[in-house]
A and B are shown apart, each in its own frame.
Chain A
Amino acid sequence: MQTVIDAHNVSKVYNADTIPVYAVNNVHLHLQKGEFTALVGPSGSGKTTLLNLIGGLDKPDSGHIIINGVDITTLSANELINFRLKNIGFVFQSFNLIPVLTAKENAEFILQLQKVHKQEREKRIEVLFKEIGLSDKLNERPSKLSGGQQQRVAVARALASRPQFVLADEPTANLDSGSASNLLDIMAQLNKEEGITFLFSTHDQRVIDRARRVITLVDGQIARDTAAVPVTHETIVSNEKP
């Protein structure tokens, strides 16, 4: 199997000069192509920080993150922007669509940044919107879409550029159960049929239930990394207890 994400001894420290707080502490993480992985843990356990580090949105204080053979910790800010554009898809908790663009234009946004030809753009968008079931909402602005529909557009946007993997930070947090279930179905289907790698940070048991691998973070460290051991809501809550 091809390793997509390879993190070695990754640490992120806040307040390093006063009272150091390790948001991520000496994490080792390897993700293979096609994995459907949930990063779970109590609030403040470092899920989002780890996701930001893997996504190249933040830089670790120590360690290396190698994505497809490229050590992204050595890249400059501009190189990182370019790297993200070509390799990583993002789905954020609060949808984060561009409000002045239509659903189609939002999904097209990255493709335009990548300078993909118009015909190819149209083709990809048509296929993706069919897959997410929003072919009839192509020209709607985000404000006219429900939360679930907006998040599906965000998934389409993340996948339009054909990234190496998709990082999804609490993608179902603001959705009702119907919308969340629908979104997960779409992502699971894309993972199964097209082999797209997903890494979620989540509290949501519905996501955890669908994940084939679950990594539990506690105090910035990986406390458990298994697909075999069932992870339940109780497991997470118990980790929050002192």
Chain B
Amino acid sequence: MIIRMAWRNIWRNKMRSVAIALSVAIGLFAGISVLALYKGMMKSRVRTVIDSETGHLQIHHPEFKKDYDPAYLLSDPQKWIGDIRSFNTIKAAAVRTVTQAMLSTPTGSTGVQVNGIIPEAENEVSLLKSKIHWGDGFTGRKKNEVLVGKKLADKMKLKPGSKLVLTCTDTASDLVSAAFRVTGIYQTENSPLDERNVYVNRNDLNEMLNMDNSFHEIVVLLNNDEDLALAKQQLQERFPSFLVESWKEISPETELMVNTMDYYMYIIIGIIMLALAFGIINTMLMAILERTREIGMMVALGMSRFRLFLLVLLETVLLTITGTPPGLIAAWLAANYYNKKGIDISSFAGDTMSSFGFSSMIYPEFPGAELFIVLMIVITTALVSCIFPAIRAGRLQPVEALRK
């Protein structure tokens, strides 16, 4: 009977109930959309880190990353790659020679990280070829070809065909330098990365550093993101004296961002729900004020304050639940639509996004895993919102209420 009364009561004032149900729907839609947007952004950021920057895992000499001293070498790349690829969790692996260098042109100089790569192998782990937007990339026709990032090219006024000089120390700590010709300009979704990294052929860099067939870094790409911990453990057990790191350790700021973004999302949803709560409180207080006499009569007849509390609570929950499906469905439709189509924010936030390593194309992702938490937040909002009106109703004295 109480459920029936509660349901009928909320439709006594249709306009008001529809308005508050719509508020719930819009609030839920907004909350889930924000969640979907952030989730899409974070997923894209993690993908950028894995696919363009670090791979899933990297292996180094344990001392190498302290000062990037080229003397800390790994040797016999074929054996390493063969061993690593024997694990079924691993999709691809590539070796790199890495050194810090000074890049000089007639207009100026800047510090860069020089990555000596095998272009075909590199393309498997970082899709570098697909990011070359200007020039031919590594042609293999000449020695000392270099790929520079768009941001660095703009800064140093480089274009395909430009010459530059890279100066660094070799494995014997002697200063060495060589001239390179720009054969391609690449652009990723992370402009600071583009400004900092240049790619050369590993043979050219090894020759410059006097390294023979050695290298400094192995980049590993997995079949599934979920296998990260397992693959790391497998590699660490296989190569116990080397440093095996996951992308989370190599790029801790991304891991931190993903984790803190979850909290931000819930804070934003909390703020939306807080606004919604005041709407619900206002509606329920009005509903109770309008029914003072009726409530007084029910208490006079013997309705306990607990049942009265239950009635107000049910009315609030039903009102909230009424608005929930439309909000959920609208959010699901919008998230799925834009997940395929994408939202291009380059016109107003393109540079800002890429300077933080984010793509300006966002593909929102419906937060299925977080849906339960969101629904719990909505229900909790409804329950908390009804407390004050329910207490007000419970405090009504029948003899006074009946006089109204």
Report A's interface with B, CB cutoff 8 A: 52, 55, 57-58, 77-78, 81-82, 84-86, 90, 92, 96, 98-101, 105, 108-110, 112-114, 157, 161
Contacts and interface: CB of A to CB of B under 8 A. Distances in A.
Given A92-B402, A100-B8, A55 B300 contact: yes
B391 to A, nearest CB: 14
Q: Chain B contact residues: over half helix, strand or loop, or mixed? A: helix
* Most central of A58, A96, A161 by chain B CB within 10 Å: A96
B216 to A, nearest CB: 77
A173 to B, nearest CB: 14
B130 interface: no
Interface string B286-299: 00000001100111
A81 B303 contact: yes
B5 A100 contact: yes
Given A57-B399, A99-B294, A82 B302 contact: yes
B1 to A, nearest CB: 5
Contacts of B192: none
Given A81-B303, A113-B303, A105 B297 contact: no
Interface string B275-309: 00000000000000000011001111111110100
A110 B202 CA distance: 88
Interface of B: 1, 4-5, 8-9, 12, 293-294, 297-305, 307, 398-399, 402
Contacts of B293: 96
Nearest to B307: A113
Given A100-B8, A100-B9, A101-B5, A90 B300 contact: yes
B1 A105 contact: yes
* Most central of B12, B300, B304 by chain A CB within 10 Å: B300
A108 B2 CA distance: 12
A17 to B, nearest CB: 19
B307 A92 contact: no
A57 B1 contact: no
Given A98-B294, A113-B304, 20 more contacts: A52-B399, A57-B398, A58-B399, A78-B305, A81-B299, A81-B302, A81-B305, A82-B304, A84-B302, A85-B301, A85-B303, A90-B300, A90-B301, A98-B5, A98-B297, A100-B5, A100-B9, A105-B4, A113-B303, A114-B302
A227 B373 CA distance: 70
Contacts of B9: 100
A3 B297 CA distance: 27
A81 B8 CA distance: 25
A81 B305 CA distance: 9
A110 B302 contact: yes
A171 to B, nearest CB: 14
A57 to B, nearest CB: 4
Contact of B294 (A58, A96, A161): A96
Given A100-B8, A100-B12, A108-B1, A92 B297 contact: yes
Contacts of B304: 78, 81-82, 113
B302 A113 contact: yes
Nearest to B2: A112
B302 A57 contact: no
Given A58-B399, A92-B402, A100-B8, A86 B294 contact: no
Nearest to B6: A100
20 contacts: A81-B299, A81-B303, A81-B305, A82-B302, A84-B302, A85-B302, A92-B402, A96-B402, A98-B5, A99-B294, A100-B9, A101-B4, A105-B4, A108-B1, A109-B1, A109-B298, A110-B302, A113-B301, A113-B304, A113-B307
* Most central of A58, A81, A114, A157 by chain B CB within 10 Å: A81
Contacts of A86: 302
A207 B164 CA distance: 113
Contacts of A84: 300-302
Contact of A109 (B301, B305, B399): B301
Nearest to A53: B399
Contacts of A105: 1, 4
A157 B12 CA distance: 23
A218 to B, nearest CB: 22
Contacts of A78: 304-305
Nearest to B11: A100
A82 B302 CA distance: 6
* Most central of B12, B294, B398 by chain A CB within 10 Å: B398
